[in-house]
Amino acid sequence: MSRAKISQAEARRLRARVLELENREAVRRRRWGSEYPGGINVACLGLDPTTGAKLRTCQLLDRPIVVRVNDANRCYFYAVNP
């Protein structure tokens, strides 16, 4: 299975479109960065890089993240299937 060849102009146009869509998505995500519809940001946690990457992956997959705190003050993060 070979790929169809495209011109450099077409490749540049597609690259520009991808960047435009990524920027639009970043703006959309920042809009709700501190608040969630029907909710408000009540705290901010520093995370290790691994945990941060896992949560960013959930966001990229458009999964809401729910946090639960147990009696030992440990946070559990859940990715919800909408």
- Segments making up each domain of the chain, as ranges: 8-79
pLDDT score, position 59:
83
The answer to whether the CB of 58 falls within 8 A of the CB of 80 is no
The answer to whether the CB of 52 falls within 8 A of the CB of 44 is no
pLDDT score, position 10:
94
How far apart are alpha carbons 56 and 36 in whole angstroms? Answer: 16
- Find the mean pLDDT for residues 43-62: 88
Q: Which helix (H) or strand (E) holds 25?
A: helix 8-31
Higher per-residue confidence, 41 vs 58? 58
pTM across the whole model: 0.49
Q: Which two tokens stand for residue 63?
A: 């999964």
What pLDDT digit, counting tens, does each position of 14-34 carry?
Answer: 999 999 999 888 777 666 555
